[in-house]
Structure 1
């Protein structure tokens, strides 16, 4: 696979493996055209929620944004290989000024919440993908109960809460997906992103980054909702994220090297 990448790049890059905890893909670092780069070799497994065509469209939509990663090459999957992505390598994000970091992250999300043309993230199809795996398992009662709860809570969130406008959603916000470029926060790993409900990104901001509730509630997607209703929706979204994370690790994360 790495030889194939070098052939496509028309150069001999010396690739070094990178740790890839928390991802099913394989990561490598190297030097290309005078800069440090990271190569993501896509897994050949089917991963729930990941769509390479959707990811490609999202990366194209955000390519001019200051918080978006610089993608140098993107090879789509075909019958002979699972595809790969080459991007500029960024520095680890070290937060010194928490208030400044919060403001920058919120500004980035406020900007991508204005993007309405992203390809659809189909939540129903995602539940069906999980269901297909659970159906062929033995003694999957806890998994089934959790998936049923996710389905119901999402329905309650979408139908039972004040209407919020869908927009571009990252769907995997956590500290490991934030890097730095000369002080600018860079948001990476857009393979789950798509047009969906902003509640899930909002929940991640509280759970993963401990952002102040009032600041998250002030994002464009929620400005027409009072704080009490926002808190109610947020609790449902946090439950969905928590249960989806558990399902992912139970069904994929614990077996990604098998």
Structure 2
């Protein structure tokens, strides 16, 4: 009996029931679910007569990682006419079903190439011209949320000092507020017949455009030459025009991005015990803990 209940509660079983409820034709024609690989998982590709879709689940684990499908749903609706991200097909808690975008993920080499930087810059500049979504990014609140889910065995007095410092510290005054994606990397960019499309909008929110570029720089490990090239391409595409001021603002945001990434990696390590998250966090620990007394 218990095994039957557990089976009924499995996300894929819930998803199957949801699709049959909202797409009755699928009952007779059949459909296929397959898990989608990624850093966070809990997504399924749906191949069906109703068209291919991506189903994104809202679990407690994902919520602890800062994901809110309701916010993601609203933001995707907000940019629906811009062909930047996928279209929403169905929203029914705890599920968000979006268009499956057929395309090829950008390679790491293509991402840092001249053509790749130009295409990514154009997409970001277009995104940053959109009206604000009404979902501001609150980094202090995000830090506090992540802190609650870090493995306490990994906390040290030095880390506590760093956390208290970051929580007291005032955020940089924004240069330009816009809708941000906040997870731009090669795997979230698809080359399609209609151009570059951006996927995985679960961390999107309103914030300073320099924060977006700081997150892109850190998240992709860009060296100084690549950073300069990208910032110039972004300006050419209609991004912030004052390169000197924009670089200064990006540098102000870098410690904030470092700490955000450190906490996220640590939360994911606590959730999964996957050593890669701990390994990715280590360089950030070295960089940040040296700044505790700066």
Normalising by structure 2, report the TM-score. 0.70
Q: Secondary structure at the match of 2:211?
A: helix
| Corresponding position of 2:17 | 7
Matched-pair contact (CA < 8 Å) for 1:115–1:168 = yes
Change (3 A) 1:152 1:177: farther
User: Are the structure 2 counterparts of residues 28 and 7 from structure 1 closer, same or farther at C-alpha, using a change threshold of 3 Å?
Assistant: same
1:99 corresponds to: 114
Runs of 5+ unmatched residues, structure 2: 1-10, 21-25, 274-294
In the alignment, is residue 200 of structure 1 matched against residue 211 of structure 2? yes
Aligned CA RMSD, in angstroms, stands at: 2.9
Q: Does residue 1:235 correspond to 2:251, yes or no?
A: yes
Q: CA, structure 1 residues 148+219, in 2 after alignment: closer, same or farther (shift >3 Å)?
A: farther
In structure 2, C-alpha distance between the alignment counterparts of 1:196 and 1:188, rounded to whole Å: 19
- Whole-Å separation in 2 of the counterparts to 1:143 and 1:37: 42
Task: Check 1:152–1:232 CA distance in 2 against 1; reply closer, same or farther (3 A cut).
Answer: farther
Which structure 2 residues correspond to residues 46-57 of structure 1 after superposition, within 5 A? 46-57=63-74
CA separation in 2, counterparts of 1:205 and 1:218?
A: 17
**Corresponding residue of 1:80:** none
Q: Secondary structure at the match of 2:82?
A: coil
SS in 1 for 2:60: coil
* Whole-Å separation in 2 of the counterparts to 1:189 and 1:86: 10
Partners of 2:84 and 2:154 in 1: CA distance: 44
Q: TM-score scaled to structure 1, two decimals?
A: 0.79
Q: Which has the higher contact order (CA 8 A, sep 6+)?
A: 1
Residue equivalent to 1:127: 143
SS at match of 1:39: strand
* Runs of 4+ displaced beyond 6 Å: none
Q: Deviations over 1:185-233 (max 9, x none)?
A: 111111111111212211234342645132234565522x4x3332222
Matches within 5 A, 1:67-86: 67-77=84-94, 83-86=95-98
In 1, distance between residues paired with 2:167 and 2:236? 27
Q: Is the 8 A contact 2:125 2:234 kept in 1?
A: no
C-alpha separation in 2, matches of 1:217 and 1:145: 37
* Deviation readout 1:56-99 (Å, 9 max, x if unpaired): 2111111121221133222233xxxxx34343143322456933
Q: Give the unaligned 5+ runs of structure 1.
A: 78-82
Distance 1:183 1:219, change over 3 A: closer
Q: Judging changes above 3 Å, is the alpha-carbon distance between structure 1 residues 27 and 51 closer, same or farther for their aligned structure 2 residues?
A: closer
Residue aligning to 1:181: 192
Q: Which has the higher helix share?
A: 2
The one of 50, 56, 59 equivalent to 1:40 is 56
Does 2:76 correspond to 1:59? yes
Contact 1:164 1:221 in 2 (8 A): no
CA distance in 1, matches of 2:17, 2:98: 14
Q: How many residues align?
A: 242
Which whole-Å CA distance do the structure 2 matches of 1:145 and 1:170 have between them? 30
